[in-house]
Amino acid sequence: MTKIFVNIGLSLDGYMAPEGMDIAHWGTPDHKNWGAKWGTLMSWVLKQQYFRELLKFGPGGETGEVNDMLRHTLERSGANIMGKRMFDQGAISWPEEAPFHTPVYVLTHEKREPWVRPGGTTFYFVNDGPESALEQARASAGDRDIRISGGADVVQQYLSMGVVDELEIALAPILFGGGQRLFASPQNSVPQFRIDKVLHTPDVTHLRYVRA
Ligand SMILES: NC(=O)c1ccc[n+]([C@@H]2O[C@H](COP(=O)([O-])OP(=O)(O)OC[C@H]3O[C@@H](n4cnc5c(N)ncnc54)[C@H](OP(=O)(O)O)[C@@H]3O)[C@@H](O)[C@H]2O)c1
Q: Rounded to whole angstroms, how far apart are CA atoms 125 and 74?
A: 21
Smallest CA separation from ligand 1 atom 46, residue: 86
Predicted local distance difference test score (pLDDT) of residue 191: 80
The reported pTM is 0.97
Alpha-helical (H) ranges within 13-118 are 34-46, 49-54, 65-76, 84-91
Q: Is 170 in the pocket of ligand 1 (CB under 6 A)?
A: no
Asked if residues 166 and 210 have their Cβ atoms less than 8 Å apart, the reply is yes
Contact 67 CB / ligand 1 (< 6 Å)? no
21 lines ligand 1 (CB under 6 A): yes
- Distance from C-alpha of 97 to C-alpha of 116, rounded to nearest angstrom: 10
pLDDT, residue 118, reads 96
Partners of 83 in the beta sheet? 107
Separation of CA 125 and ligand 1 centre (Å): 13
pLDDT per position in the chain (212 positions), as tens? 999 999 999 999 999 999 999 999 999 999 999 999 999 999 999 999 999 998 888 889 999 999 999 999 999 999 999 999 999 999 999 999 999 999 999 999 999 999 999 999 999 999 999 999 999 999 999 999 999 999 999 999 999 999 999 999 999 999 999 999 998 876 666 789 999 999 999 999 999 999 99
Backbone φ and ψ for 67, nearest 5 degrees, come out as -60, -45
Q: What pLDDT sits at residue 185?
A: 73
Is residue 147 in contact with ligand 1, taking CB distance under 6 Å? no
Ligand 1 atom at minimal distance to the Cα of residue 110: 41
Domain range list for the chain: 4-18+29-205
CATH fold, domain 4-18+29-205, is Dihydrofolate Reductase, subunit A (3.40.430)
Instruction: Dihedral sign for Cα 143, 53, 16, 122, please.
Output: negative
